[in-house]
Each structure stands twice: as structure tokens, then as C-alpha cells.
Amino acid sequence: MSNTRAQKSGAAWGIEKKMEENYDREEAQGTPKHIREWINSVMANDPNYTKCGDTDWKGFCTFLRDGVVLCKFLNVLLASDDKPKVSFTKKVANSFAAMTNIENFNKGCETYGLAREFSFQSGDLWELRKGPFYNVINCLHSLGFTANSKSFCPAYSGEVTKYMDRD
């Protein structure tokens, strides 16, 4: 995939670097690993699910990129809470279908009980950039705690870690 986008500079560059640092910090705490393990365990009973084995951010981001896994995963959570499932396109042929899946995932998260401020923009996942992928991780991490508050099993094993900005 060629990068035809102009490089960020100034404040935008600083924000992206800060987000990358935040992702690195969460990775050091094991958050992406906990999320990946949780998704794999929730989806274990789906015969059509192919387990995510990627451990790097780009592989995990690519695994989730079209929104299909996210919607299937969320539908398991919604069903356990007697809430309506989200619709999604199973065979994503273009970015429009993927963006629609991701938007449906975010709306479904709100229906499940996740606060809107934890949602992410479609581009955060679709564009395969480490900094914005932090927003996706933050959403899934928060969704895990929401599921735990509803006693969903298998439980999410991620931990809350409080950080203090040094800037």
C-alpha cells in the first residue's frame, strides 16, 4: 500500500507522536494483548472465526480493519445483554463498506452502554497508523470494562492504569 498522503507537520505531527507514545505505553502494560486474548476467547465458539495471532500493532490493526470482526464480536456482547445486534457487511470490497461497519460498531457500543467519548473515528482503524490505532485500543479497553460491569463471561482481564502527563 503506497502512502500518498502528505506527512504531518507542526501541531498535527506533535499530536500523532503523542498518540504513538500513548499506544506504546499501553502496549508495555499489555493492553493490546489483553484485548486480543479477550476477543479470541469471546469468538472461540464461532466456527467461522479465525483467531488473531498477530502481536504487533499493524497486524492487529489489519485484523480489525474492515470492521467485520468488531461487529461479530460486539454482536456476542449485545446478545448477552438482550440488545439488538448491529448489521454489517461480511465481504468488504471497498473502504465505504468498512467505514459503515466501523460506524455500526461504534453505534452498537453505545447501545451496549459504552459512553460515546470512547468511540473512535473510522479512519483511526482504516488508515493503518499507529497513533490513531490508540483510539481503537482505548475503545476496546473501555468496552471490556463495560462488559465486566455486566458480568459478561469470558471476562476482560485488562487493568486500569492511571498515568500522569508530564507535558
pTM, full prediction: 0.88
Q: With CA atoms as reference, report the closest residue to 144 among 134, 155, 160, 133.
A: 155
Q: Which amino acid is at 155?
A: A
Q: Which amino acid is at 66?
A: D
* The predicted structure's pLDDT at residue 13: 75
* The predicted structure's pLDDT at residue 1: 47
* The predicted structure's pLDDT at residue 121: 96
Contacts of 26 by beta carbon, 8 Å cutoff, 6+ apart: 32, 134, 137, 138, 141
Distance (Å, whole) CA 64 – CA 129: 13
Q: What is the dihedral of CA 102, 103, 105, 109, to 10 degrees?
A: 140
Distance (Å, whole) CA 52 – CA 69: 10
Q: With CA atoms as reference, report the closest residue to 145 among 38, 26, 68, 9.
A: 38
Specify the CATH number of the domain 31-149.
1.10.418.10
Averaged in consecutive runs of 10 residues, what is the pLDDT profile of the chain (167 residues)? 57 82 93 96 95 91 97 98 97 93 98 97 94 96 97 92 53
* The predicted structure's pLDDT at residue 9: 61
